[in-house]
A = this chain, B = another copy of it.
Amino acid sequence: MKIISVLDKGYVRLVDVMGSDLSVVNAARVSYAKESKELSERDIKLIKFLAREDHTSPFRHAFLQFEVYAPLMVARQWWKYVVGSDHTMDSWNESSRRYITEEPAFYVPRADEWRSAPENSKQGSGQPINHDDGYQFMLWLEDYINQGEELYKRALDYGICAEQARLFLPAYGMYVRWYWSTSLQGVCHFLSQRLEHDAQKEIQEYAKAVLELAKEQFPISLENLLK
C-alpha cells in the first residue's frame, strides 16, 4: 500500500484496511436488516446524519493499520491521544531501544525549520527564526547528537546494558517505529486533535499524511467527521 514521507527521515505507511464507507452504513442499518452493496445518495445522507449528530458507533466497524516512523517526541504526543483520551480501540506495537537492533537515527530541523516561541500562547510555535541562526542551532544539534551517539557506543562497547546506555541519547529527536491499528473513529479523533493549529508542528505533518492515506479509503466518512 501507499507510503508518505514526513520530516527528514520519517514516513507513514498504510499497512492494511478493513471496510469502506459502506461498512458504516451497514452497521447503522442493523435494525432494518438491510445491507447496501453500493454507496447510494441515501447512504451518503445517512453518513452525514451520523457524523452531524455525533452517532459515532457505526464508525467503529472499519479499521486501519499504519506503520509510522517518527521522532520520539511525536510518538509521545501520539500516545497521549491514545492513553489520555477515552478512545481505546487502539493497538500499538513499538520498537524498543532496550534491544540493540538498528543504528539510532535523529530528527534535525534544517536551517529554515527552527521556529520561534508563539506570541500569546504557552504552547505551540510562531514564525521561523532567522536562517543564519537556524543554521547555527542545526550545527549545534548535530554536534550534540554526535557526541551522544559516541558516548552511547562507548557504553555499549564497554559492556553496559542497552537499557542504561541509552541515557546518553538525546531521545526526543530519535526515530522510533511502530504499528498503530485503530478504528475509523479512532483515526478521526486523532486527526481532529492533531491537525489543529496549536498541535506541535511536527505531529501536524504526520496527521496530514494519515489524513491523505485514510481519505482514499473512506472519503465520505472523513469529509463529514472532520467538519
Contact = CB atoms under 8 A, between A and B. Distances in A.
A166 B154 CA distance: 24
A17 interface: yes
> Which of A79, A85, A93 has most chain B Cβ within 10 Å?
A93
Given A86-B185, A168-B170, A95 B162 contact: no
Nearest to A100: B122
Nearest to A180: B61
Contact of A166 (B109, B137, B172, B181): B172
Interface string A70-112: 0011000001101111111111111111111110000111000
- Number of identical protomers: 4
Interface string A153-168: 0111011111110111
Chain A contact-residue range equals: 35 or more
A170 B167 contact: yes
B185 A126 contact: no
A147 interface: yes
Contact of A86 (B30, B86, B177): B86
A150 to B, nearest CB: 10
A141 B163 contact: no
Contacts of A123: 96, 98-99, 162-163
Interface of A: 15-19, 23, 26-28, 30-33, 56-58, 60-61, 63, 65, 67, 72-73, 79-80, 82-102, 107-109, 114-118, 122-126, 129, 133, 137, 140-141, 144, 147-148, 151, 154-156, 158-164, 166-173, 177-179, 181, 183, 185, 189, 200-202
